[in-house]
A and B are shown apart, each in its own frame.
Chain A
């Protein structure tokens, strides 16, 4: 114990000596920063572009779970766990006969030799082995059972050993995700240089704890990749992106508020643990389905507690204080639950009750957020709700109708909340004399200091935007522009865009709609959140005060961003890439 304390003091003494030295040698610091700015941009471009290209250029060959064989009608490979049989063009197994309804039957894989079949209210019904099925009831069938629909005979056959081998062979031929080692080295170098840069720019304002936090993040990153690589996992691009953005987060926090860096690190660690847990948990669909009512209950409690005990920060009452200095943002955690509650298996999507529950829950969340005056988060929830309902129902007219209704509601809110309405006055006019030092203060400073960073940035710790309110959260895009440069700031946005494109690309190989919707709704949340944050800060949209995923300072938000990554991991169907999917041979 004593020994340990002695060592800690020794490290602190050493670091303090370095800090003092750098403060006394400003000219040296300037020379190093001048060179570092270039290296940072090159490293960041390397790390992010390699990861982005790997994510977007690798595509999984769909797995084949069996064949649906129609008499005189051919063989349909079953590439999903959930399939709709019907006449409709969008049916997974399309039998173009007039006796078959548009969406005739649902066929869901249960295990290697068990499938579930359900009549989706077809006109002519289904018979299995001569037995007429009740509509909307589930029946378990086995490969080989005779399925009669609208005069056709069909059966499920398991893939032969040869076919299975073939499919696995094809999947082996898929381009592998990029190996993580070089990227890891690059990020580590980036982190080390960030520490040096922060010491040079901040001198004794920098704390030993902040620097050690960056070292711990680096160590955790290596441990994570090494452990899961040893367990046979191959895809790490998303985590690399997240670790990189988290490094920027720690640097931004260290520059603006060195005392909070440890808190950010802890949030990352909890978020990472939560992500791993969620990935493993979500491998089993039935577990995920059972979790829903629990999540609804927890979310409702969390939001109600927030409404009763919440404290205000920048106008929105979305914080709960814990102890002396701690505080959490329950609405951030509810985001995680909101995504799960909106997702559903194909079977659930055909159940009205499921849709009603989701709509009711969404309305409750929006109501609570409105009462907290957290309109930014409400907008994120609402956009996600819109996209998810569209994914579920495909009803574009309802999509538009809901959007218009929300717009009308929004206008009413503006009427009664002059504080919000005033932000709209400044929107698009922040450079006019009337607003530039008033309602447009934050935006003009974001753009001014941000542009001052040029393409390469002034170097971490050298910025001045940090003295403006909410610089490391709502205005973090400008913060990154000033200290890290326009290139790295734009790359950070591209990372978020890439995660989303990746999620959409991999739907084709998806097993269940539940994963598809999870990924798309997580993508929507990230996208809308990024848009509101970035566009708000640079006057392309009224400033709403939401966080940039991973990058903004704020424990709860950072933790949630990490946990959300699990939803993207669950959509990653590349062979043995993701720990959210059981390993293949």
Chain B
């Protein structure tokens, strides 16, 4: 009988296989349980393919979307719906980065202990960081033009305003199949790739500060045409002749000639390095969303193209959210805070600050840039346009071959209660300082800390 006793190990082998399988499944259950449970096939939480529970509000609790077994219930207010749809998402899933898809498992209230069990069957309430009122203001300020406005608190990382136009009314969703209309679903702020124009000079300026110790003695004589070689195209035209400008003046006047010269002095390698350091060539992680990543071409052997690339033209493409984060970097001493769209534990975030994205530029560089951006406001944009705000900014006017250039205005405020970094882009808006700056001022004022 001893033989049979010994051979019985084979049954134990089967037990091991069974336990190993359960172990593997247990691991997957812990790892992917949330994904499985929120799969659209789960009719506990989906009715006719749409989530049937959960509420999305803005940062102050204003209800933006309520998911019910009878379908989605959006805000009653038309303007709120169209101004927040890119942040909230739509029932068809056409907006890929909407909270409805990104925060699905929080909305359902999935956790490993309770699964989708929900005593109230109403799901969870999740508060976004956006301020519905600021979004409405931004939508109004864009006034039917294509564009985007993004604002975030550069200390906590909370995105308080995110609007993208053209937009649509999610309560009466247009058909996704029509090509023309599908641009409604596109979120320019997260997914856009745009020519930055002169706003990019803040990147070139950072490279100058860190690489040219004799920058204070730099001067450039701007004749408005600024020929840099033979041929008709070998020039960096400016709106007008700036005359002799220093580095500081060049930024305030946004002198293309001067920045072209600086770019040529820095060279292609340094320019590439600083575009990367400014975080513009990598996607920005906003919760689980990845923004589009910008791209640049700084040719070694083409002085003209290199010069244009150094002033935000040529093949330069940036993502607005990444530009906003770069403003956050300058505001925060060179280390930007990661943006987030979901409001959680704000108290702790205010005490410790949000999650750092690491060092982009030296704190001395940031301080000098900050000073120069203040100078821009004082010298060029007019402080009276930003009354009550400690404003630091740079405008941009991107030539993209259309009848009117794209208008940019980026920067930040440095007030104790209002530390906001922002980006405003208006397609074919004209001059940045004229078209985009007032939008920034209006939205930041609407954010509430300026007594309005």
Contact = CB atoms under 8 A, between A and B. Distances in A.
Interface of A: 30-31, 33-34, 37, 80, 82-84, 90-92, 346, 383, 387, 390-391, 394, 436-437, 441, 444-445, 447-459, 464, 467, 482, 485-486, 490, 493, 496-497, 500-501, 503-504, 507-508, 510, 512-513, 516-517, 520, 523-524, 527-528, 530-531, 534-535, 538, 540
Nearest to B32: A451
B244 to A, nearest CB: 64
B30 to A, nearest CB: 9
B24 A540 contact: yes
A204 B105 CA distance: 32
B149 interface: no
B11 A448 contact: no
A530 B11 CA distance: 14
A34 B119 contact: yes
A81 to B, nearest CB: 9
B113 A456 contact: yes
A520 B44 contact: no
A500 B111 CA distance: 34
B285 to A, nearest CB: 24
B8 A448 contact: no
B42 interface: yes
A500 B15 contact: yes
B26 A504 contact: no
Nearest to B30: A486
A531 B4 contact: no
A444 B41 contact: yes
Please list the 10 inter-chain residue pairs (A to B) with the smallest Cβ-Cβ separation, ordered nearest first. A454-B115, A451-B36, A452-B116, A451-B33, A451-B37, A448-B39, A452-B37, A90-B3, A527-B14, A448-B42
Contacts, number: 163
B18 A527 contact: yes
A458 B117 contact: yes
B11 A520 contact: yes
A540 B117 CA distance: 26
User: Chain A interface secondary structure, helix, strand, loop or mixed?
Assistant: helix
Contacts of A482: 115
Interface residues of B, number: 45
B1 A527 contact: no
B1 A448 contact: no
B230 interface: no
Given A391-B8, A458-B115, A516-B4, A452 B15 contact: no
Given A490-B26, A501-B15, A516-B5, 19 more contacts: A30-B120, A84-B3, A346-B1, A391-B7, A441-B41, A448-B42, A451-B33, A452-B36, A452-B37, A453-B117, A454-B37, A454-B114, A464-B44, A496-B18, A501-B12, A503-B8, A512-B1, A527-B15, A535-B21
Contacts of A538: 25
B34 interface: yes
B22 A493 contact: yes
A453 to B, nearest CB: 5
A456 B115 contact: yes
Nearest to B23: A490
B44 A452 contact: yes
Contact of B39 (A34, A37, A444, A490): A444
A159 B2 CA distance: 21
Contact of B15 (A83, A497, A508): A497
A33 B114 CA distance: 12
B119 A31 contact: yes
Most chain B beta-carbon neighbours within 10 Å: one of A390, A447, A490, A527: A447
B112 interface: yes
A445 B42 CA distance: 7
B22 A490 contact: yes
B17 interface: yes
A442 to B, nearest CB: 10
B41 to A, nearest CB: 5
A157 to B, nearest CB: 20
Nearest to B1: A80
A486 B113 CA distance: 9
Contacts of B4: 346, 391, 507, 513, 516-517
Contacts of A346: 1, 4
Contacts of B269: none
B1 A516 contact: yes
B45 interface: yes
